[in-house]
Amino acid sequence: MAEINLQRVYDFSVPAPEHCYLIDRLWPRGVSKERLQGVVWLKQVAPDNALRQWFHQHTDQWDEFERRYRQQLAENDAWQPLVALLRQGASLTLLYGSKDTQHNQGVVLRDFLLDQMGG
């Protein structure tokens, strides 16, 4: 069965697994392109700059961030190829830069993708 693995980009080491995506809007500070060889940068699925900046200032408002980000995802089709891969049984690895492993866009995107799968 397909699964979605979340991993902090700063803890990631090559070789990249198949279907590995960086899901941050900005390239992670201090990480070379060579270090992420084989990783596809899908910045189109990341929260837009306004929401990203808002969340950095309102980290205590997780539910509101999740609601706004899900709304952005619903209005954007950049995530659809990820669902197509999941439907084919592929496993995905989503890389994010946040220090908070429980409250970041990867968690919301994973749950959103699973919802699209009906699970």
Question: Which residues are 84's β-sheet partners?
Answer: none
Collect all residues with Cβ–Cβ distance below 8 Å to 16 and sequence separation of at least 6.
36, 37, 38, 39, 93
Range of the domain at 69: 4-117
Tell me the whole-structure pTM to 2 decimals.
0.94
- Residues 54-104 have pLDDT tens digits of 998 998 999 999 999 999 999 999 999 999 999 999 999 999 999 999 999
Residue whose entry in the numeric block shows the structure tokens 């899900």:
70
- For the chain, the domain total comes to 1
- Residues 54-64 have pLDDT tens digits of 998 998 999 99
